[in-house]
Structure 1
Amino acid sequence: MTQAPSGTGRQGGRTDIPQAAAVLTTDRGPDRGAPGRRERPVERELHPYGPAEPADGLVHEGGTPAAPHPHPHPHPHPHPHPATNPRPDRSPRPGTGRHGTAEQSEQSEQSEQENGYAMERTRRYTIESLDTGLRLIQLFLAHDRLTVSEAAALLSVGRSTAHRVLSTLEGRGFAVRDSSGRGYAAGPELVRLGLPAGFGAAARRRLGAVLDEAARRTGETVQSAALVGDQIIVMDGRESPHPVRATLELGRTRPAHATAGGKLLLSSLTEEQVRALFPGEELPGYTSATLTTRSALLAELALVRSRGYAVSRGESVPGLHTVAVPLAGSSRRDRLALVASGPADRGEDGVLLRRAEELRRSVVLLDVT
């Protein structure tokens, strides 16, 4: 068997299966330290971003002055040449030309003032556009899908403004269009930015009773997991009492396409969102059982949607079989999966099906707590 990394081992006749390390160990292995729960900072596993690219298309103050007209003014009355005229051509000087009345002069000055106010509004609009975009991003935290009309109504802006902002977010990967072409959903960049709900003490207390019940019913290591980009992250859990078991590692991330919890949470997304998370057809493989194409993943997600649970048979860890069902949440940000993990000799297909039912029964406790 493959040697496990440090932090797992035998204690009191129990042998850990480190889920994150993708290794099975036996009692015959060397001592690797005391097993147990290990807290890891989430920041270690989340993918950092590099420096932001310089923004293009910003509105800058000032501008390039208009080039002088190459020919003299066509009006028959004498006017200074535009190149030497200190006033714009659209504002005749008082007392000159057919429109050179005092009234027209006042109107011209008023027009210049209005143009100045328009420029000031343009400078303010640049900031307002950013504010509108940020408010729209906040809407995606509570809405899985938004149409242009819905976004305009919620933001109290015009449909054209909402459409421009949504198109800008789409261009930067913060929004994606659904199959109808009329609705938008959170894009991969936005998904990566948002940490999932469930880390707080209140959420852990609320879900704790479910985890206790699930561990009792299945006899295996159980955990709650959330989707962050193309990864899942372990939020909380309980370890199995079996001598050979899966180890719980809080804050650990694993590839979503190779885990039962990840596939369950991916199945709640639209196909366009999944394609945006996995832009290439080829997917990384971790074992011989891993789904290594996006087409195979999409077909698997369709099966998960139809049956209501997901399984992984050694796809991320050789010899580790897992099953997952929905735990909580109605939107991308707060959706969680309830996962049970155990060695392959305790995870045949029929056992996984029964285990999924036991997990569902445990989730019912949320309705009474």
Structure 2
Amino acid sequence: MSILETATSVLRLMAREQREMSMIDLVDQLGMPKSSASRVLKQMSEAGLLERDKKSLAYRPSMLLLELSHLVRSSSALIDMCAQALETLGERFGHTGYVSVLEGNDVVVLRVRPGSLAFRAMTNPGHRSASWATSTGRALLARETDEQIRARFPQGLRPEGAQTVNANAADIGADAPFSDSRAPARGPATLDALLDEVALTRSRGYALAQNEALYGVCSVGCSIADPSSGECLSFCLSFPAGAQDDAALVALGEAVREQARTIGRSLGDPYWSAFPTNSTP
């Protein structure tokens, strides 16, 4: 491993743990020999990438990195940061990605990043789905209190008289709307069931939807907010249901969550600032 790759691993570890690092941390979490860990920390400090606390003797990111983080924040709109996260995830997993926004009780697609793997049910920007039956929608709803969510749906998820459709990916066009007036046949059946899904989303940091707004489609999504602009978006990876086993779904969820947490903490998003670093599904 080159010194650049090693330094990158150290910075990624700091970003994930959100704390200062010592030589022992590198030994325990990166599997480095003590001599290598000591040497790389010293070299990164001499290069101006890290600073050493005189009391604890642990290392933290330097002011240079802090200045660069402000540059990234000021030059990248939240939607572009989400799109970049999908680019990274897409290159790793090959799945299609979406950036969406909550509009009323629907979630609306803003951007699409086609995957490298064949996927028949891809939708287009402007596509509207019921928020409660999608991973992006539930990731956004998870930021609200249960009381706020109940207030959104005073008549329940499927109001009396609403048309219920069998949302098969094979027979519905890419731009077919799914608002409350055309509720998907799948997904949480009641408001209490939705709140259970939202609670699970809050605990693991990502939402999982399988065979809901579109039958045969699975997606894993997270949300991010920028306190400075008030903007709040969600992004997800979408792929055929059944294509991943349980372990793979967890790995996907954790990868999407880490991208969201990194962006969220760089923006000062309270949701991610308070989210436990070592949280597991």
Q: How high is the TM-score relative to the length of structure 1?
A: 0.41
1:275 counterpart residue number: 150
1:257 maps to 2:132: yes
- Distance in 1, matches of 2:88 and 2:235, equals 12
Task: Give the C-alpha shift of residue 250 in structure 1.
Answer: 0.9
- Does the 8 A contact of 1:323 with 1:339 survive in 2? yes
1:351 maps to 2:226: no
3-state DSSP class of the match of 1:247? coil
Matches within 5 A, 1:194-233: 202-233=77-108
Matches within 5 A, 1:81-96: none
- Distance in 1, matches of 2:142 and 2:228, equals 13
- Distance in 2, matches of 1:234 and 1:332, equals 20
Aligned pairs, how many? 169
Over 3 Å counting, the alpha-carbon distance change for 1:257 and 1:306 in structure 2 is same
Task: Give the C-alpha shift of residue 319 in structure 1.
Answer: 0.8
3-state DSSP class of the match of 1:346? coil
- Distance in 2, matches of 1:224 and 1:256, equals 13
- Distance in 2, matches of 1:262 and 1:325, equals 9
Over 3 Å counting, the alpha-carbon distance change for 1:240 and 1:258 in structure 2 is same
1:98 counterpart residue number: none
Over 3 Å counting, the alpha-carbon distance change for 1:332 and 1:208 in structure 2 is closer
- Does the 8 A contact of 2:217 with 2:238 survive in 1? yes
Task: Give the C-alpha shift of residue 274 in structure 1.
Answer: 0.8
Output one character per residue of 1:37-93: Cα deviation in whole Å (capped at 9) or x when no partner. xxxxxxxxxxxxxxxxxxxxxxxxxxxxxxxxxxxxxxxxxxxxxxxxxxxxxxxxx
1:300 maps to 2:197: yes
Over 3 Å counting, the alpha-carbon distance change for 1:335 and 1:296 in structure 2 is same
Equivalent residue for 1:321, pick from 218, 227, 233: 218
Task: Give the C-alpha shift of residue 362 in structure 1.
Answer: 3.3
Over 3 Å counting, the alpha-carbon distance change for 1:270 and 1:240 in structure 2 is same
3-state DSSP class of the match of 2:125? coil
Task: Give the C-alpha shift of residue 347 in structure 1.
Answer: 3.4
- Distance in 1, matches of 2:231 and 2:151, equals 20
Matches within 5 A, 1:1-369: 202-283=77-158, 286=165, 289-330=186-227, 333-363=230-260, 366=263
Over 3 Å counting, the alpha-carbon distance change for 1:293 and 1:286 in structure 2 is farther
- Distance in 2, matches of 1:269 and 1:300, equals 13
**Aligned AA (1:309):** Y
- Does the 8 A contact of 2:206 with 2:222 survive in 1? yes
Task: Give the C-alpha shift of residue 245 in structure 1.
Answer: 4.5
Q: State the Cα RMSD in Å.
A: 2.7
- Distance in 2, matches of 1:327 and 1:307, equals 15
Greater fraction helix:
2
Q: How high is the TM-score relative to the length of structure 2?
A: 0.53
Task: Give the C-alpha shift of residue 303 in structure 1.
Answer: 1.6
Over 3 Å counting, the alpha-carbon distance change for 1:314 and 1:286 in structure 2 is farther
**Aligned AA (2:201):** V
Larger radius of gyration: 1
Task: Give the C-alpha shift of residue 268 in structure 1.
Answer: 0.7
Task: Give the C-alpha shift of residue 202 in structure 1.
Answer: 4.3
**Aligned AA (2:150):** R
Identity of aligned residues (%): 30
Task: Give the C-alpha shift of residue 232 in structure 1.
Answer: 0.6
Task: Give the C-alpha shift of residue 211 in structure 1.
Answer: 2.1
Task: Give the C-alpha shift of residue 349 in structure 1.
Answer: 2.9
- Distance in 2, matches of 1:331 and 1:339, equals 23
- Does the 8 A contact of 1:227 with 1:256 survive in 2? yes
Give ranges in structure 1 of 5+ residues lacking alignment. Answer: 1-200
Task: Give the C-alpha shift of residue 213 in structure 1.
Answer: 0.7
**Aligned AA (1:235):** L
**Aligned AA (2:147):** E
**Aligned AA (1:240):** G
Task: Give the C-alpha shift of residue 235 in structure 1.
Answer: 1.6
- Does the 8 A contact of 2:78 with 2:226 survive in 1? no
Over 3 Å counting, the alpha-carbon distance change for 1:270 and 1:300 in structure 2 is same
Task: Give the C-alpha shift of residue 333 in structure 1.
Answer: 4.7
Task: Give the C-alpha shift of residue 282 in structure 1.
Answer: 4.7
